[in-house]
Structure 1
Amino acid sequence: MRGNNRRASCMTRERCIVRATSPGCTLPWWTFVLGADYFNFRYPMTHFLRLLPLVYLGPWLLVYCMFTALGRQYTSWARINIGLMISIFTLIVLPVMDGFFIKGDRGTTATFWVTIAVVALAGAGDAVAQGSLLGISSELPERFTHAYVCGSSFSGIFMFIVRVITKASLNSSPSGLRIGAIIYFSIGPLFLIGVLSLFAYVHYMPAMGYYDSLGLGNLDTVRLLVEDEATVTVEIAASAGIAAIAAGRSSPTQPLEYGPVLSRVKLLVIGVAITSLLSMTIFPGFLAETVHSKYLGSWYPILLIGTYVVFDFLGRFLTRHSTYDRQSTLFGASWARLLLLLFFVFSVFGYGPVKTPMVFTLTAVLGITNGFLIACFNILIPRCNPSNQAESAGIIMVTFMTLGSLIGAGLSWLWVLV
């Protein structure tokens, strides 16, 4: 009994590693998004928050596809570490550039394009790290996928808190905004260094020696154990999988099979694309630039984006105990959610006293439905396929989700006409 409790404790800690590493993968994205007031001040009339998803997600998809085709022989350990180190570099560039190369209130053309290049590089680093971590979680029981989807959203809450503190601690003058932004952008790299250290700690966890002694050397063995509960419990097999991955012992490269997988989950991947498309059509461009509040001023976009982040996390957390597994229901929900677009159009022309509460309410609904549906899709799509096709299912899901996000980011420019 004591041995079972110890192994269950190890499994819990290793699930926490997934939950703690995933915020590091997405932290650059949330750092840029929640710096909306800074970018609007430094680069007015550039629609930076509308450019951001295109510049970030374009390289993300390109690098992800490239690694899928050419880089699968590299261990997940190496890919996650490389991606996190790229993210650290990109977040260091912005405070250094602001502190030494921007002299006035406005950024220059050169600093604008450097910022764009940094965002693109951050997207590439995110693809390397997050794609690998998603692949890890897809091949293990759904509790690990849930840890991944919740952790990737938690970094948004963390950076929202940091942004509120740094902005509230300093005055709203240009110098106050500058100092606050330098502090804000400097905290991200420190957080990522902590994530790297935590990920490295897996090597030295007591569970490693135990699972090594069992001879669980690759994910193929783990899959067999997960499917054969008579041999070993699911918890032990799942923990062994994390241990094997952390040691860099990925399973032998399996051939990808897209046709059979796509036929099983075609409704789900279309649903995840529609869900991402709608969310990115409104977030972050509409919230940062289209709506305004004379009472909240520069706080308005930060609070709106923070509302989305918090409710998105809540929606993901709601799938902890139950996940809808009917494909037709999730598919219909993703299309029905498009009705939110009409309400956001109405909010632009809403009556003054109720306009701001209406936008906050719609943003909360947008966030919680996005989080819940995305979590359901992430958990269900790999589960609808045999374990040896989980990687193919994950790749298809991520590709459709990113394509939907890119289309939505392009459609967000239509709000400029409103």
Structure 2
Amino acid sequence: MFTPYENGAPVKLEGKYAAMAVCWLLGNGCLFSWNSMLTIEDYYVNLFPRYHPSRVLTLVYQPFALGTLAILAYNEAKINTRRRNLFGYILFFISSLLVLVLDLATSGKGGIGTYIGICAISGVFGVADAHVQGGMVGDLSFMLPEFIQSFLAGLAASGVLTSGLRLITKAAFESSKDGLRKGAILFFTISAFFELLCVLLYAFVFPKLPIVKYYRSKAASEGSKTVSADLAAGGIYTQSGQEVEEDSKHLERLSNKELLFQNIDYAIDLFLIYVLTLSIFPGFLSEDTGSHSLGTWYALVLIAMYNVWDLIGRYIPLLKCIKLESRKGLMIAILSRFLLIPAFYFTAKYGDQGWMIMLTSFLGLTNGYLTVCVLTSAPKGYKGPEQNALGNILVLFLLGGIFAGVTLDWLWLIGKGW
């Protein structure tokens, strides 16, 4: 194994902040297309009023994401991470273009055929997400915790950006004919360009940063086979054959099963965080919050507030003094969030919009904060290949929580005649 850092880490790891910026953009790209679809749901609700698109699209997306990631996580040690992540970002790019093409081809008309097409693209987004989110979190798990934090902040920032764009487009096009459609077209045009940017960043910029090359070289020296293509893209080549066989005992790693058993509390933490969040956001916030003075702006404002506070929550753990790392403390905090379910129910029924905005903000804040706390704490103490595998396993449970949450979200419809 050739590494330019044979004597350990260099005194100064160049490119840390550039890598954090790229991680932020790549995290943004991981969910930008999907968040665009979520954020323009007022357009889809208007286009398909009988089909509950705010719930159905998420419900279609998640099985594809979860099923694909389960396969990828199981075979993680054999998968070329570079190909996996590039495939995911390219798929996001193509899918964003397809949404645009479908809308233009049908002239923005509804109907079951168009709806099925949108649902199919939603499923493709799920496949792309499984490739990118699991691949990136696994890859970044053996690097600096700040890289995972930046990537996760980018995920949340995609929600903030899309919500902000949606508010702007709604204000700009509200009085014009086909205003909702014009906003949707603008969204997916921007989305397609942004996903293309992510493809280029991951392919040509990220692997060449010195700090990234160092951590990937370190992971390769510990037995990781998933980083060889990324190292080659950065100009570093690994040796195969006898040297690897001679060091096989040194390179032994825990199995996925052992990693899961050792970190089952972290896995359950992530599952529970997202079960709760997705049982409320976005379906309940889009359809079940009653009538208020903000009118058609109300659901958009709630979703925007959730996204903003989710982003803020993901930066709070950077302050070490208030970062929660106790495994028991994390579990208690996560279980306590379930008190938000009756809080949302009674606020929607009896409270005014101010209380609902406050609750939604708290939901976002705790979601972001706890996600970063779990995903930056869990990989500590493991070798590179184990950290990569653990990152994939934890994201699998995260997506499992999302799937369970969007399924449970339908329970809010009980008694509403559907």
Q: Same fold (TM over 0.5)?
A: yes
Is there any run of 5+ residues in structure 2 with no aligned partner, and where? Answer: 1-8, 239-243, 245-250
Partner of residue 80, structure 2: 75
Secondary structure at the counterpart of residue 360 of structure 1: helix
Greater shift in the superposed pair: 161-170 or 8-17:
8-17
Asked if 1:101 corresponds to 2:101, the answer is no
Asked whether the 8 Å contact 2:206–2:212 carries over to 1, the reply is no
Q: Deviations over 1:311-361 (max 9, x none)?
A: 00111110112231110000011101100111001012114xxx1111101
Q: Deviations over 1:158-210 (max 9, x none)?
A: 111221222111124551222221112211011112222222332795x55x9
Q: 1:223 to 1:14 in 2, by over 3 A?
A: farther
Find the partner of 1:123 among 123, 126, 136.
126
**1:14-413 alignment runs, 5 A limit:** 14-70=19-75, 72-102=77-107, 104=109, 107-172=110-175, 175-202=178-205, 205=208, 207=209, 217=217, 219-221=219-221, 244=231, 247=234, 257-322=255-320, 323-351=323-351, 355-383=352-380, 385-413=382-410
| Cα shift at 1:103 | 5.5
| Cα shift at 1:95 | 2.3
Q: Deviations over 1:235-292 (max 9, x none)?
A: xxxxx99973863979899766133323332222212211110001001100011113
| Cα shift at 1:386 | 4.6
Asked whether the 8 Å contact 1:95–1:182 carries over to 2, the reply is yes
Q: C-alpha distance in 2, partners of 1:55/1:241?
A: 34
Q: 1:386 to 1:264 in 2, by over 3 A?
A: farther
Q: What amino acid is the match of 1:303?
A: V
Q: 1:187 to 1:197 in 2, by over 3 A?
A: same
Asked whether the 8 Å contact 1:276–1:405 carries over to 2, the reply is yes
> Greater share of helix residues, 1 or 2?
1
Greater shift in the superposed pair: 109-118 or 57-66:
57-66
Q: C-alpha distance in 2, partners of 1:156/1:267?
A: 28
Secondary structure at the counterpart of residue 263 of structure 2: helix
Q: C-alpha distance in 2, partners of 1:223/1:75?
A: 14
Q: What amino acid is the match of 1:126?
A: D
Q: C-alpha distance in 1, partners of 2:160/2:237?
A: 32
| Cα shift at 1:53 | 2.3
Asked whether the 8 Å contact 1:77–1:248 carries over to 2, the reply is no
In the superposition, the TM-score normalised over structure 2's length comes to: 0.85
In the superposition, the TM-score normalised over structure 1's length comes to: 0.85
Q: What amino acid is the match of 1:220?
A: A
Q: 1:254 to 1:42 in 2, by over 3 A?
A: farther
Q: 1:243 to 1:115 in 2, by over 3 A?
A: closer
Asked whether the 8 Å contact 1:222–1:241 carries over to 2, the reply is no
| Cα shift at 1:390 | 1.3
Q: 1:125 to 1:243 in 2, by over 3 A?
A: closer
Secondary structure at the counterpart of residue 406 of structure 2: helix
Asked whether the 8 Å contact 1:76–1:132 carries over to 2, the reply is yes
Q: C-alpha distance in 1, partners of 2:215/2:348?
A: 61
Q: C-alpha distance in 2, partners of 1:257/1:195?
A: 32
Asked whether the 8 Å contact 1:138–1:390 carries over to 2, the reply is yes
Q: C-alpha distance in 2, partners of 1:365/1:211?
A: 35
Q: Deviations over 1:365-390 (max 9, x none)?
A: 00000100111111111125454421
Partner of residue 231, structure 1: none
Is there any run of 5+ residues in structure 1 with no aligned partner, and where? Answer: 225-239
Q: What amino acid is the match of 2:331?
A: F
Q: C-alpha distance in 1, partners of 2:380/2:216?
A: 22
Asked whether the 8 Å contact 1:22–1:151 carries over to 2, the reply is yes
Secondary structure at the counterpart of residue 25 of structure 1: helix
Q: C-alpha distance in 1, partners of 2:176/2:126?
A: 31
Secondary structure at the counterpart of residue 382 of structure 1: coil
CA-based RMSD of the aligned residues comes to: 3.1
Q: C-alpha distance in 1, partners of 2:228/2:222?
A: 6
Asked whether the 8 Å contact 1:57–1:402 carries over to 2, the reply is yes
Q: 1:168 to 1:248 in 2, by over 3 A?
A: farther
- Percent identical among aligned pairs is 26
Q: C-alpha distance in 1, partners of 2:175/2:212?
A: 55
